[in-house]
Copies of this chain bind each other. A is one copy, B any other.
Amino acid sequence: MVGNTRKKTDLNPNNSVDCVIFGFDFEQIKVLLIDRGQNLGNSKNLRALPGNLIYEEEDLDEAAYRVLEELTGIKDIYLEQVGAFGNPNRVNKESDREWLKSIRDEPNARVITAAYYSLVKIDDFVPKAHSFAKKAEWIPLTEIEELAFDHFEILQVAKEKLKQKIKIQPIGFNLLPEKFTLSQLHKLYECIFEKPLDKRNFRRKIQKLNILTNLKEKQRGVPHKPSQLYKFNEENYQLLTQNGYDNFGF
């Protein structure tokens, strides 16, 4: 392969991106997985992370944004690299090999993947027709036990990175709609940290940070005391962090 002859639309058969797309439905964290719709005798039809080969003339981040848009129709999304995964035996399940044969020109090529995680507002998700994904589904994190390739391992690392990142940057807002309640935010943090957080202490700290704008608007139609709605205050967040503040943990 000679660099000068590469075209934008040439596939790089040796490098891919895989995306761990997190969503939140106010109850639990979910991950968008694809169903490859394989009919296999007795072996399981394992779900997979959305991902694909990159193009020759494409940066890794670009490729991740592209794959995300192709799959979800969402642009300008929060995206963070998890890392590179290159175990030579990443593809060691018979079902994975079968599947690659059906969709790849070079199904036996060694592929090193750059994994990303992204946080999306679940309601913005617009399922798109996707070449090789028979279905795309939101699966609760707690129900995921096995995935294709090394995707389960990638998911574990992505979860860990998310947990760490959210302690130093309030990225959780990317999982909530523009307007949200403190209870929803509270629940979100409990789901990410996988442990209960005291309601009053949580509210005290998040409000003290002064990065929420109270919209003076209430929830409607709920069969109990309606909640105040808030939105994330980007400007105050900038002010807060410009002197190095980075304690957003609970």
Contact = CB atoms under 8 A, between A and B. Distances in A.
Nearest to A82: B83
Protomer copies: 2
Given A1-B109, A112-B112, A88 B56 contact: yes
B12 A110 contact: yes
Nearest to A1: B109
Given A14-B15, A106-B1, A110-B12, A88 B168 contact: no
A158 interface: no
A81 B108 CA distance: 26
Size class of A's contact patch? 20 to 34
Interface in A64-111: 81, 83-88, 106, 108-110
A54 B1 contact: no
Nearest to A4: B108
Given A83-B81, A84-B81, A110 B60 contact: no
A84 B84 contact: yes
A35 interface: no
Contacts of A59: 86-88
12 contacts: A1-B110, A6-B110, A56-B110, A59-B86, A60-B85, A60-B86, A60-B87, A60-B112, A84-B84, A84-B114, A112-B112, A164-B164
Interface of A: 1-4, 6, 12-15, 54, 56-60, 81, 83-88, 106, 108-110, 112, 114, 164, 168
